[in-house]
Structure 1
Amino acid sequence: MTNDGSMKITGRIIARAWADEDYKARLLADPATVMEAEGLAVPTGIAIKVVEDTATVQTLVLPARPIDLSDDDLGEVAGGRPSGKDTWAYTRPLF
């Protein structure tokens, strides 16, 4: 789900869920069916989870670890200290 078309569909799904409580309930209960009905193909064997942030609960998504990066590469991607640099990398705060 990284191309422009799928991003537009995802945005439409989110906007509709904000406006329609019944739609949101269906999206939370069975996201793959809702997404497919909106035109997003969900590959066989892939489970989709939708969670809703609230004023008091925020979600941090921990992506799967890439299998082709070294530990040093992962440290740089994750906001660790870049190799060969004297300063710490800065990443945007979550909140």
Structure 2
Amino acid sequence: MTNEEKQKTTSRIIAKAWADDAFKARLLADPIAVLRAEGVEVPAGITFKVVEDSATVQTLVLPPKPADLSDEDLDKVAGGAGVWCMFCVMCL
């Protein structure tokens, strides 16, 4: 799956959660089952945590630092050159 396809899938799942309270409840309770049902391939050993932001609570996700990231690469990411999505762990 390309990054563009992952972003489209992520957007579709978010929109569905906004529109369907029962779907959102399932996504929060059992994200792996819901993602797989939506056609997302989740590798064995991967865990997903889905959290819902609000007007007063925001989530900041710190992805794992790649072992082979140079200072130049870090500067690019810090400058906004990186694109992150809910499937980033699968992009590594």
TM-score (norm 1): 0.72
Distance in 1 of aligned mates of 2:10 and 2:27? 12
Match of 1:46 in 2: 46
How far residue 78 of structure 1 moved from its aligned partner, in angstroms, is 5.6
How far residue 75 of structure 1 moved from its aligned partner, in angstroms, is 5.2
How far residue 6 of structure 1 moved from its aligned partner, in angstroms, is 2.4
How far residue 73 of structure 1 moved from its aligned partner, in angstroms, is 3.8
Identity %: 60
Structure with a larger share of its residues in helix? 2
How far residue 74 of structure 1 moved from its aligned partner, in angstroms, is 6.2
Match of 2:75 in 1: 76
- Distance verdict in 2 for CA 1:2–1:51, change over 3 Å: farther
TM-score (norm 2): 0.74
1:7-59 deviation per Cα after TM superposition (whole angstroms, max 9, x unaligned): 22211110010011110010011111101101001000000111111000000
The answer to which structure, 1 or 2, has the higher relative contact order (CA under 8 A, 6+ apart) is: 2
* Structure 2 portions without partners, runs of 5+: 81-92
**CA radius of gyration, larger in:** 1
Distance in 2 of aligned mates of 1:42 and 1:32? 7
Match of 1:27 in 2: 27
Distance in 1 of aligned mates of 2:3 and 2:44? 19
* Structure 1 portions without partners, runs of 5+: 80-89
- The letter of the residue matching 1:68 is D
